[in-house]
């Protein structure tokens, strides 16, 4: 999605440790017109897949997931994060490692909201090592639901999480794919698809 690349180039900041800051439009302040475009693009990519639920993790995935869910006309469900594994009964839970905080945490969703008949699309803001998506996949598997694929706003391909999932046969779409960002120099892997917006 060319708009995503342009936005990152204009407004993103590369921080030490391989972190891209996009607080001006995605992670703290949200550019709502752009958010709508993100939702439309994710809906377009997965239009043929009969998705009936979108799953993300609180907090930074929620806005994008909600935008995509509104476009697709389906519910959006977010996994809650807890730092301990002390979770109450009626939930599916999994452990994930936070790339940005360097700690492990438990994610959980109520068994009432993730069902065996669900065809689930995972949505998140960033894909780095893939721990967040792997945690969500564990929840989908625990529920006996069907995983349709994943859509992320920004993939940092140099951390290999996306390619590891693709190798497992999981469809992973990223709206901008960063090949490298050494010394603050952003290089994209631009993927062009039929029907891409200009």
60 touching ligand 5GP, by CB under 6 A:
yes
Nearer residue to ligand 5GP within complex by CB, 118 or 124: 124
* 132 Ramachandran zone, left/alpha/beta (phi>0; psi -120 to 50): alpha
Nearer residue to ligand 5GP within complex by CB, 13 or 50: 13
**Binding mask 89-118 vs ligand 5GP (x if CB under 6 A, - otherwise)?**
----------xx------------------
129 touching ligand 5GP, by CB under 6 A:
yes
- Minimum CB separation from ligand 5GP for residue 19, in Å? 4
39 touching ligand 5GP, by CB under 6 A:
no
Applying CB under 6 A, among 1, 8, 20, 45 the residue interacting with ligand 5GP is 20
Residues in contact with ligand 5GP by the rule CB under 6 A: 19-21, 27, 60, 99-100, 124-132, 156, 161
């Amino acid at each position: 999605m060319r708009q995503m690349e342009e936005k990152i180039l204009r407004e993103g900041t590369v921080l030490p440790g391989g972190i891209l800051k996009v607080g001006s439009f995605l992670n703290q302040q949200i550019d709502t017109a752009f958010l709508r475009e993100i939702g439309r693009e994710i809906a377009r990519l997965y239009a043929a897949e009969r998705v009936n639920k979108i799953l993300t993790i609180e907090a930074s995935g929620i806005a994008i997931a909600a935008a995509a869910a509104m476009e697709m006309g389906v519910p959006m469900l977010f996994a809650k994060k807890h730092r301990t594994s002390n979770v109450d009964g009626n939930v599916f839970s999994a452990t994930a490692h936070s790339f940005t905080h360097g700690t492990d945490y438990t994610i959980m969703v109520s068994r009432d909201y993730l069902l065996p008949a669900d065809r689930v699309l995972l949505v998140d803001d960033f894909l780095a090592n893939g721990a967040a998506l792997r945690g969500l996949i564990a929840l989908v598997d625990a529920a006996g639901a069907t995983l349709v694929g994943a859509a992320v706003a920004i993939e940092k391909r140099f951390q290999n999480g996306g390619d590891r999932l693709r190798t497992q046969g999981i469809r992973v779409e990223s709206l901008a794919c960063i090949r490298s960002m050494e010394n603050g120099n952003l290089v994209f892997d631009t993927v062009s698809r039929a029907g891409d917006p200009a």
